[in-house]
Amino acid sequence: MKPIYVLNGPNLNRLGKREPAIYGTTTLAEVEQICRSAAGDRPVVFHQTNSEEKLIDWVHEAIDEGAGILINPAAFTFTSIALLDALKMFEGPVIEFHISNVHRREAIYHRSYVSMRADAVMAGLGATGYATGIAALLNMIESRS
Ligand code: DHK
């Protein structure tokens, strides 16, 4: 069974301590467990990086190996055409995920390149919302099979 890829961008390694009023106190390790529990029997490839290059490399790996992608690109959401170009090569479902409601924040967080490819965009559910994102991704995969 092909895995789903859960990919996380810059500064998310600091979850738990990073601006808790915005991102809560759930750590990245706890987010990983939330994702693995929500995925059930579906294998999960879970990564976080502060490097745009590494994030793109994992999208390339998903192109060849993955059934779906749930990605929190963090700040690269709003800056990276290279990440958008990589995601355009992925043929399965893509969900763009943000812990916070980016549309209620500063204007720099309002224009997403990733949304030009994403099949769905989730924002504001908090870190536990990753479980909802995983469930939605599994449904998308199932409905396409
Ligand atoms: C995470 C980040 O690091 C920010 O750059 C985004 C996103 C919001 C989140 O809410 O998960 O603007």
Beta-carbon count within 10 A of 143 CB: 8
Residue range 78-89, pLDDT digits in tens: 999 999 999 999
Residue range 5-62, pLDDT digits in tens: 999 999 999 999 999 999 999 999 999 999 999 999 999 999 999 999 999 999 999 9
Task: From 98, 108, 111, 121, give the residue whose CB has the most ligand 1 atoms within 8 Å, as the site to mutate.
Answer: 98
Q: What is the pLDDT of residue 100?
A: 98
Structural domain span for residue 31: 4-144
Sheet holding 120-123, edge to edge: 44-48, 4-8, 68-72, 94-98, 120-123
What is the DSSP-derived secondary structure letter of residue 124? S
Residue 50's domain is classified under what CATH number? 3.40.50.9100
Q: How far is the CA of 94 from the centre of ligand 1 (A)?
A: 17
Written as one string, the DSSP assignment of 66-120 is -SEEEEE-GGGGGT-HHHHHHHHT--S-EEEEESS-GGGS-GGGS--SGGGT-SE
Q: What is the pLDDT of residue 107?
A: 97
55: Cα separation from own chain's centroid: 11
Give the atom of ligand 1 at the shortest distance from the alpha carbon of 9: 3
| Reported confidence tier of residue 131, pLDDT bands at 50, 70, 90 | very high
Q: What is the pLDDT of residue 130?
A: 98
Selection from 11, 8, 144, 1 nearest residue 83 by Cα? 8
Over pLDDT 70: what percentage of the chain? 100
In sequence order, the 6+-apart residues with CB closer than 8 A to the CB of 99 are: 15, 22, 23, 24, 72, 124, 125, 126, 127, 129
- Given 23, 60, 109, 110, which residue is catalytic? 23
Cα(79)–Cα(40) distance, integer angstroms? 33
Q: How far is the CA of 27 from the centre of ligand 1 (A)?
A: 14
Q: What is the pLDDT of residue 77?
A: 98
DSSP H/E element including 21 = helix 20-23
Q: How far is the CA of 119 from the centre of ligand 1 (A)?
A: 19
Mean pLDDT within 82-97: 99
Q: What is the pLDDT of residue 95?
A: 99
Q: What is the pLDDT of residue 69?
A: 99
* Residues contacting ligand 1 via CB (< 6 Å): 11, 72, 74-75, 98-100, 102, 109
Q: How many domains does the chain have?
A: 1
What is the DSSP-derived secondary structure letter of residue 24? -
Residue 98 known to be catalytic = yes
Residue listed under structure tokens 């961008």: 9
Mean pLDDT within 119-139: 98
Mean pLDDT within 66-92: 98
Mean pLDDT of the chain: 98
